[in-house]
Amino acid sequence: MGDFLFELCVKLKTEAVNLYYSSFLALKDITIDISERTITAIIGPSGCGKSSLLRIFNRMNDLIPGVKIEGSVFLDDISIYDKAADIVSLRKKVGMVFQKPNPFPMSIYDNIVFGPKHHGVKRKRDLDDIVERSLSQAALWEEVKDNLKKSGFDLSPGQQQRLCIARTLAVEPDVILMDESCSALDPESTMKIEELMLDLANKYTILIVTHNMEQALRVSDMAAFMMIEQDKAGRLVEYAPTLQMFSNPRDKRTEDYITGRFG
């Protein structure tokens, strides 16, 4: 698994990133390269900045008052924090699926076409095609194709999360960020989402935050272990191919976390 990763282009990268919430330093000196069409699992104890790191890549942290970022973040070698950066375009390229399913209060169909319409797609035939493609990619089409006018809220939690993934796919992103997207789901729904991740990684670059070590081992190509240092800031301790990290971690703290001695 490890060798092919180095043949792929770097899709996302950070260089010496510090993230502040007002005067609080939440992330310190984060430097990481994420290869295209891989699944990277961000692991570590609660409060170490995993979700903050994930949200750096689509500038969701910008929505929090008092946020300041130092260092550089690149998507396809283009700085996404440059003053000229188009945030709407960035969030189209870097989609996000949250911890709890959050369908919009509208039909399944309208959930999917919401983004494409916002980006200028008008023809019904085009929108219909996008709905079928996105729901098929999210392994939901066969389950809902006869009930597209039904509210997204009428679906099971697992189906709602796949609807949210389909909604993200509808605008054809390059990157999908998933912030503990299975933690609110039952084991069967979790398995479906994991199978979906593995399938989507053939086309998309995927970053997941997870507390589930078995999940990280099952689905990810690379793993990034983070923890809080004495200054209370989250740092990247180790970044390696997942199988290598889980079988032979370089850092004792990584081993202690993976084996359940803390965290």
168 and 97 Cβ atoms separated by less than 8 Å: yes
Low-confidence residues of the chain: pLDDT under 70: 1-7, 263
**Cβ 62 vs Cβ 230: under 8 Å:** no
The pLDDT of residue 1:
44
Contacts 24+ apart (CB under 8 A), 211-219: 211/43, 211/46, 211/180, 211/183, 212/182, 212/183, 213/43, 213/246, 213/258, 213/260, 215/41, 215/182, 215/190, 216/41, 216/43, 216/242, 216/246, 217/242, 217/243, 217/246, 218/194, 219/39, 219/41, 219/194
What would the CATH number be for the domain defined by 2-258? 3.40.50.300
Locate the domains of the chain by residue range. Answer: 2-258
pTM: 0.93
Of the chain, the end-to-end C-alpha distance in Å amounts to 27
Token pair for residue 9? Answer: 């282009």
pLDDT value of residue 262: 73
Which residues have C-beta within 8 Å of that of residue 233, sequence separation ≥ 6? Answer: 25, 26, 27, 28, 49
C-alpha 56/C-alpha 175 separation (Å) is: 13
**What is the pLDDT at residue 70?**
97
- Alpha-carbon distance 25 to 51, whole Å? 14
* DSSP H/E element including 253: helix 252-258
Q: What is the DSSP secondary-structure string of 48-71?
A: SSHHHHHHHTTTGGGGSTTEEEEE
Nearest in space to 12 (alpha carbons), one of 46, 52, 67, 58? 58
